[in-house]
Structure 1
Amino acid sequence: MNAATAGLGAGMALGFAAYFGGFWAFLLVLVLGAVGLTVGLVVQGDLDLHSRRRQ
């Protein structure tokens, strides 16, 4: 799956949440999607949360 397909799926999911669930459902889906993306990137190794810590 490429980035355009993933973006299309995410946009459709947010659209359905907004249409059927209202604003708060839209926000919930958006926040949970961002959390899922972050976790997925960390597990995949594309995002390192410990790379730049100040000492």
Structure 2
Amino acid sequence: MHDERSNDGPRGRHGLGFAGYFGGFWAFLLVLVLGTAGLIGGLALQGDLDLRTRRQR
């Protein structure tokens, strides 16, 4: 792991903007859903996100 800031946020917003502009609402929604799934899957595979833990109240 590294502590440097990532450029993934601006890249994701540019991707969403292009999809929305050129493809319309459904393309925007598709890119949003696939990007979110990719982020969650990547974090889980990398070990930065543990999907098995639950918060105790």
Q: Which TM-score tier does this pair reach, normalised by the shorter chain?
A: 0.7 to 0.9
Amino acid in structure 2 at the alignment position of 1:32 = L
Count of aligned pairs: 53
Shift of 1:2: 2.8
* Structure 1 unmatched ranges of 5 or more: none
**TM-score normalised by L of structure 1:** 0.85
* Structure 2 unmatched ranges of 5 or more: none
* Percent identity of equivalent pairs: 60
More helix by share: 1
Deviations 1:9-34 (A, max 9, x none): 00100000000000000000000000
Shift of 1:42: 0.1
The RMSD of aligned alpha carbons is 1.9
Match of 1:2 in 2: 5
Match of 2:16 in 1: 14
Poorly superposed stretches of 4+, deviation over 3 Å: none
2:48 corresponds to 1:49 = no
